[in-house]
Protein backbone atom coordinates (compact mmCIF):
# COMPACT_ATOMS: atom_id res chain seq x y z
CA UNK A 1 0.00 0.00 0.00
CA UNK A 2 2.99 2.30 0.57
CA UNK A 3 3.87 1.94 -3.12
CA UNK A 4 0.36 2.99 -4.14
CA UNK A 5 0.61 5.97 -1.82
CA UNK A 6 3.95 6.96 -3.34
CA UNK A 7 2.89 6.57 -6.97
CA UNK A 8 -0.46 8.27 -6.41
CA UNK A 9 1.45 11.20 -4.90
CA UNK A 10 3.07 11.84 -8.29
CA UNK A 11 -0.39 12.08 -9.83
CA UNK A 12 -1.57 14.42 -7.09
CA UNK A 13 1.43 16.69 -7.51
CA UNK A 14 1.14 16.85 -11.29
CA UNK A 15 -2.58 17.61 -11.21
CA UNK A 16 -2.28 20.10 -8.35
CA UNK A 17 0.55 21.98 -10.08
CA UNK A 18 -1.50 21.98 -13.29
CA UNK A 19 -4.57 23.30 -11.43
CA UNK A 20 -2.61 26.11 -9.78
CA UNK A 21 -0.92 27.12 -13.04
CA UNK A 22 -4.26 27.00 -14.87
CA UNK A 23 -5.82 29.22 -12.18
CA UNK A 24 -2.91 31.68 -12.30
CA UNK A 25 -3.26 31.94 -16.09
CA UNK A 26 -7.02 32.38 -15.79
CA UNK A 27 -6.59 35.04 -13.12
CA UNK A 28 -3.85 37.04 -14.82
CA UNK A 29 -5.41 36.89 -18.27
CA UNK A 30 -8.93 37.47 -16.88
CA UNK A 31 -10.28 34.44 -18.70
CA UNK A 32 -13.80 33.13 -18.43
CA UNK A 33 -14.18 30.32 -15.88
CA UNK A 34 -15.31 27.40 -18.02
CA UNK A 35 -16.38 23.82 -17.44
CA UNK A 36 -12.78 22.78 -18.17
CA UNK A 37 -11.56 24.90 -15.24
CA UNK A 38 -14.29 23.47 -13.03
CA UNK A 39 -13.31 19.91 -13.95
CA UNK A 40 -9.61 20.58 -13.33
CA UNK A 41 -10.43 21.88 -9.85
CA UNK A 42 -12.82 19.02 -9.11
CA UNK A 43 -10.41 16.35 -10.37
CA UNK A 44 -7.67 17.86 -8.21
CA UNK A 45 -9.99 17.76 -5.19
CA UNK A 46 -10.96 14.14 -5.80
CA UNK A 47 -7.42 12.89 -6.47
CA UNK A 48 -6.08 14.65 -3.37
CA UNK A 49 -8.83 13.20 -1.17
CA UNK A 50 -8.13 9.71 -2.49
CA UNK A 51 -4.46 10.24 -1.63
CA UNK A 52 -5.46 11.27 1.88
CA UNK A 53 -7.51 8.08 2.32
CA UNK A 54 -4.63 5.95 1.03
CA UNK A 55 -2.34 7.82 3.43
CA UNK A 56 -4.63 7.03 6.35
CA UNK A 57 -4.51 3.33 5.46
CA UNK A 58 -0.71 3.43 5.24
CA UNK A 59 -0.42 5.35 8.50
CA UNK A 60 -2.72 3.17 10.55
CA UNK A 61 -1.45 -0.14 9.14
CA UNK A 62 2.19 0.89 8.82
CA UNK A 63 3.25 -0.08 12.29
CA UNK A 64 4.43 3.34 13.46
CA UNK A 65 5.58 3.02 17.04
CA UNK A 66 4.24 5.40 19.61
CA UNK A 67 6.46 7.19 22.04
CA UNK A 68 7.83 10.61 22.73
CA UNK A 69 11.41 9.36 22.46
CA UNK A 70 10.94 8.91 18.71
CA UNK A 71 10.20 12.60 18.31
CA UNK A 72 13.90 13.33 18.80
CA UNK A 73 14.68 11.58 15.51
CA UNK A 74 13.88 14.01 12.63
CA UNK A 75 13.24 11.25 10.07
CA UNK A 76 10.77 9.40 12.28
CA UNK A 77 9.13 12.67 13.35
CA UNK A 78 8.65 13.65 9.70
CA UNK A 79 6.98 10.37 8.78
CA UNK A 80 4.93 9.88 11.93
CA UNK A 81 3.84 13.43 12.75
CA UNK A 82 4.84 16.28 10.44
CA UNK A 83 3.98 14.66 7.10
CA UNK A 84 0.50 13.41 8.07
CA UNK A 85 -0.56 16.61 9.84
CA UNK A 86 0.73 18.87 7.07
CA UNK A 87 -0.98 16.78 4.39
CA UNK A 88 -4.27 16.94 6.28
CA UNK A 89 -3.91 20.73 6.43
CA UNK A 90 -3.11 20.84 2.71
CA UNK A 91 -6.24 18.85 1.87
CA UNK A 92 -8.27 21.15 4.12
CA UNK A 93 -7.00 24.18 2.17
CA UNK A 94 -7.77 22.51 -1.16
CA UNK A 95 -11.28 21.69 0.08
CA UNK A 96 -11.80 25.27 1.27
CA UNK A 97 -10.67 26.53 -2.14
CA UNK A 98 -13.20 24.28 -3.85
CA UNK A 99 -15.99 25.39 -1.52
CA UNK A 100 -15.17 29.09 -1.82
CA UNK A 101 -15.00 29.05 -5.61
CA UNK A 102 -18.56 27.66 -5.77
CA UNK A 103 -19.89 30.71 -3.90
CA UNK A 104 -18.22 33.21 -6.21
CA UNK A 105 -20.08 34.66 -9.19
CA UNK A 106 -17.22 36.42 -10.95
CA UNK A 107 -14.72 34.43 -12.98
CA UNK A 108 -11.71 36.29 -11.56
CA UNK A 109 -12.86 35.52 -8.01
CA UNK A 110 -13.21 31.81 -8.82
CA UNK A 111 -9.68 31.65 -10.21
CA UNK A 112 -8.42 33.64 -7.24
CA UNK A 113 -9.90 31.10 -4.81
CA UNK A 114 -8.08 28.31 -6.61
CA UNK A 115 -4.81 30.23 -6.78
CA UNK A 116 -4.84 31.05 -3.07
CA UNK A 117 -6.14 27.86 -1.50
CA UNK A 118 -4.85 25.27 -3.96
CA UNK A 119 -1.56 27.18 -3.96
CA UNK A 120 -1.32 27.01 -0.16
CA UNK A 121 -2.11 23.30 -0.36
CA UNK A 122 0.65 22.82 -2.93
CA UNK A 123 3.22 24.67 -0.82
CA UNK A 124 2.29 22.64 2.26
CA UNK A 125 2.54 19.38 0.34
CA UNK A 126 5.91 20.29 -1.14
CA UNK A 127 7.20 21.33 2.29
CA UNK A 128 6.63 17.96 3.94
CA UNK A 129 7.18 15.34 1.28
CA UNK A 130 9.74 12.86 2.64
CA UNK A 131 12.05 13.49 -0.30
CA UNK A 132 14.72 11.02 0.89
CA UNK A 133 12.19 8.17 0.90
CA UNK A 134 10.32 9.27 -2.17
CA UNK A 135 12.84 9.91 -4.93
In the 3-class helix/strand/coil scheme, how is 107-131 assigned residue by residue? HHHHHHHHHHHHHHHHHHHHHCCCH
pLDDT, position 43? 98
State the average pLDDT for the chain: 91
pLDDT value at residue 67 = 55
On the question of pLDDT at 2 being above 90, the answer is no
* pLDDT of the residue at 88: 97
High-pLDDT (> 70) share of the chain, %: 93
Given a contact cutoff of 8 angstroms between Cβ atoms, the answer to whether 48 and 16 are in contact is yes
Q: Residue 33, exposed/middle/buried by CB under 10 A (0-12, 13-18, 19+)?
A: buried
Given a cut of 80, whether residue 133 has pLDDT beyond it is no
pTM (2 d.p.)? 0.91
The pLDDT, as a whole number, for residue 65 is 58
Amino acid sequence: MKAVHSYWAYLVLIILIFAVINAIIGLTQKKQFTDKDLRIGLFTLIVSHIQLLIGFVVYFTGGFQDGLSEMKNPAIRLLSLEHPLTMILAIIFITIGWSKHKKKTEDVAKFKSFVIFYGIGLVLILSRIPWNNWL
